[in-house]
Amino acid sequence: MEQFMNLGLSKTMVKTLARKGFEIPTPIQNTVIPFLLSGESDLVAQAETGTGKTAAFGIPIIESLNSQGKDVKALILVPTRELAIQVAGEIGSLVGSRNLQVLPVYGGQAFGPQFKGLKQGADIVVGTPGRILDHLRRGSLCLETLSFMVLDEADQMLDMGFIEDIRTILSHAPQERRTMLFSATMPAAVITIARQYMRGYKTIAMNTKPHAVQLTEQIYFEVRDQDKFEALCRVIDMEPDFFGLVFCRTRLDTAELASRLLKRGYAADGIHGDISQFDRERIMRGFREKKITILVATDVAARGIDINNLSHVINYDMPQDADSYIHRIGRTGRAGNKGIAISFVVSKERRFLEILRRTVGASMRRGHIPGVSEVLAAKRDKIRFNIEKAVADNKAGLYADLAVEMLENGNASRLLAACMRIAFADELDTSSYGEIRQINPVENKSRTKLFMARGRKQGITPQKLVKLIHGQTGVSERLINDIKIFDDFSYLSVPAAEAVIIQKRFQNKKGRPIVSKAKSENAQTLHRKTVQGNNRKAPVRNKSDQGRRAAG
């Protein structure tokens, strides 16, 4: 814990962190904690969820507060109810032996407990903008004694339409407060809030995306839409301790998939916009405690979910864009732990997949959907492990005497097999798995013809063209074909996704692009002109030849 001591933390806080299992500060904690402890400037920090930012701002706030009085001393605004609960829980666990009260305040919960908590005295309030504004209007919350104000996940709050609520809340806070803003991205609206309501703030940008990508293995499976459920079940069954998020596109798809997983015997549930707040909290509590190990969700419903030890994120339905993909997979591979992100890709999504692979700039490899024999082998290994672990625990208890009696009168292997059949039922039954038709990668199904404003006169040959394209864009040489070289221009054919990449790389801002999409009419016209030009240059051997050409 020496590195935490070097940040300027008290011995009491270091002991609390040690009890929580902290070992070394994360990059954002290393930067933000000493800055907040040593000065009074406001702070704007660009950092994503899962980087340790809650502790980064929570620890200095706790170190700076005293427990005197019942007034609110710190307010932390977050975009969602789930995040309010999580952040309040994390801050509460950092308080340790200090007499500081932390209260989550959010919509969907009855006002009664919140009124009571505020009246009894809450030093730190964590809340959603709408409910905080409600309490300000009702007079149950006063910010006159506020020392710290935190806008957490600021970009999400603005995306969700909370801009005016935030402005109103900030207007209730005293000028001498210290304000901290944390955001994964820095759109203009976030910068505007900082400039209008923060004083001489310092900006810290943490480069978190490459770190998250580095810790997350990214795999995609090409499947038929009707085979996705069977593929998902096999992926889950291959993992001894699957604990993950499964993303669907719509509320209806989410509810249907969660229901199918439950019927199949998995500890699964789903969250989407139609479920009540009570059910959402119940489901999320079960997920945190791992009573639910598979959580199916839409992008909107998953906002604010911050759980560090997810083993998998599954894109059952592909996201709409690259930003959504990065946000999804960023929920695994956190806090130094390895994670796996799996995407199911149907034929119509191949083009998006290729564009995504280039945009994300990460290594996504094509995976092999496990066969039934592979899944059963993994299950047998898990059963063997669980039995051997139970033997090692040596807690036979009331079953010990019965086991001795049965072994004296029966065959040991048959007895053990019977016990396993009772305990594991149809776990090894091949009929529980459906058929999946393997899809071979077809990378050139949809192709685009490109025009290049370079030809023989510029020294272009088929070999040189292929090497030029590959060297400038990384597009595989084997994907480039149908090459035709003329004096001043050339043609080539590549898959549609690669065509987008090549055109973007060869853009010429000062004039006509070097590579553009070929137009069939223009291509024919240019070809005819070239042929005609070559014919005009050909020597005329005699008058009869000249006459035949003229007649032709």
Kindly report, residue by residue over 23-72, the tens digit of the pLDDT: 888 888 999 999 999 888 999 998 876 678 899 999 999 999 987 778 89
C-alpha closest to that of 220 among 325, 303, 127: 325
* Rounded mean pLDDT, 120-137: 95
Looking up tokens 């007499």, which residue turns up?
A: 99
How would residue 241 be classed by pLDDT, with cut points 50, 70 and 90? confident
CA dist 123 and 92 (Å) reads 11
Element of type H or E holding 408:
helix 399-409
CA dist 318 and 69 (Å) reads 51
* Rounded mean pLDDT, 361-388: 81
CATH 3.40.50.300 fits 2-207, yes or no: yes
How would residue 142 be classed by pLDDT, with cut points 50, 70 and 90? very high
The answer to whether the beta carbons of residues 134 and 156 sit under 8 Å apart is no
Q: Percent of the chain beyond pLDDT 90?
A: 39
pLDDT digits (tens, 9 = 90+) for 100-125: 999 999 988 889 999 999 999 999 99
- The confidence score (pLDDT) of residue 283 equals 92
The answer to whether the beta carbons of residues 86 and 65 sit under 8 Å apart is no
Half-sphere exposure of residue 79, counting CA atoms within 13 Å on the CB side? 24
C-alpha closest to that of 232 among 346, 315, 332: 315
Does 393 score more than 80 pLDDT?
no
The answer to whether the beta carbons of residues 146 and 64 sit under 8 Å apart is no
Q: Is 543 helix (H, G, I), strand (E, B) or coil?
A: helix
Architecture of domain 210-370: 3-Layer(aba) Sandwich (3.40)
C-alpha closest to that of 502 among 535, 473, 541, 462: 473
CATH of 447-537, one of 3.40.50.200, 3.90.850.10, 3.40.50.300, 3.30.70.330: 3.30.70.330
How would residue 405 be classed by pLDDT, with cut points 50, 70 and 90? confident
Query: Regarding predicted confidence, which is higher, 420 or 167?
Result: 167
- The confidence score (pLDDT) of residue 545 equals 43
* Rounded mean pLDDT, 229-252: 92
CA dist 489 and 108 (Å) reads 65
How would residue 319 be classed by pLDDT, with cut points 50, 70 and 90? confident
* Rounded mean pLDDT, 265-292: 89
Start-end of CATH 3.40.50.300 domains in the chain: 2-207, 210-370
CA dist 343 and 320 (Å) reads 13
Q: What is the mean pLDDT of the chain?
A: 83
User: Which residues have C-beta within 8 Å of that of residue 192, sequence separation ≥ 6?
Assistant: none
Does 444 score more than 50 pLDDT?
no
Cα–Cα–Cα angle for 206, 209, 214, nearest 5°? Answer: 120
The answer to whether the beta carbons of residues 264 and 232 sit under 8 Å apart is no
How would residue 127 be classed by pLDDT, with cut points 50, 70 and 90? very high
User: Which residues have C-beta within 8 Å of that of residue 267, sequence separation ≥ 6?
Assistant: 291, 292, 293, 294
C-alpha distances in angstroms, 196 versus 170, 181, 201, 238? 10, 13, 11, 53
Start-end of CATH 3.30.70.330 domains in the chain: 447-537
The answer to whether the beta carbons of residues 269 and 238 sit under 8 Å apart is no
**pTM higher than 0.75 for the full model?**
no
User: Which residues have C-beta within 8 Å of that of residue 70, sequence separation ≥ 6?
Assistant: 119, 120, 121, 122
pLDDT digits (tens, 9 = 90+) for 67-84: 777 889 999 999 888 889
C-alpha closest to that of 228 among 320, 318, 354, 339: 318
CA dist 514 and 494 (Å) reads 16
